Amino acid sequence: KAGVTQTPRYLIKTRGQQVTLSCSPISGHRSVSWYQQTPGQGLQFLFEYFSETQRNKGNFPGRFSGRQFSNSRSEMNVSTLELGDSALYLCASKGLAASSYNEQFFGPGTRLTVL
């Protein structure tokens, strides 16, 4: 079974631009979560989508948004990029069997650099 895939793997943008990151979960998984990883703040939860609905949201500004499609693929968007948005963005998927204890499987991440 293929794992979680994320595209692109690396991205360089300039301040003020916007960016869209993509995540394909493990086949059959309907929950997709996004995390931001930075050296200073560590791993922080952004949001979770299940069946095309956001059901959990972390403490990030409205510039960070996401969506999920009917095939469970998810995208996250960051508008008006700031230097501090430079980070590794990780996507994780979760199956129904593991949902009761929240076991999540992570993709390789998208490394975003904002110049």
Partner 1 sequence: AQSVTQLGSHVSVSEGALVLLRCNYSSSVPPYLFWYVQYPNQGLQLLLKYTTGATLVKGINGFEAEFKKSETSFHLTKPSAHMSDAAEYFCAVSDLGNQGGKLIFGQGTELSVKP
d(CA 10, CA 7): 8
Q: Which among 52, 35, 53 has a CA at the least distance from the CA of 107?
A: 35
Does 52 sit near partner 1 (CB under 8 A)? no
Burial readout 77-98 (b: 16 or more C-beta within 10 A, e: otherwise): ebeebeeebbbebbbbbbbeee
Does 99 sit near partner 1 (CB under 8 A)? yes
Please identify, among the stretches 12-20, 45-53, 61-69, 70-78, the one whose residues bind partner 1 according to the rule CB under 8 A: 45-53
Does 96 sit near partner 1 (CB under 8 A)? no
Does 58 sit near partner 1 (CB under 8 A)? yes
Please identify, among the stretches 13-21, 70-78, 79-87, 89-97, the one whose residues bind partner 1 according to the rule CB under 8 A: 89-97
d(CA 1, CA 13): 33
Burial readout 51-62 (b: 16 or more C-beta within 10 A, e: otherwise): eeeeeeeeebee
* Min separation Cβ 87 and partner 1, Å: 13
Does 78 sit near partner 1 (CB under 8 A)? no
Per CB under 8 A, residues contacting partner 1 are 4, 6, 31, 33, 35, 42-43, 45, 48, 50, 55-56, 58, 90, 92, 94, 99-109, 111
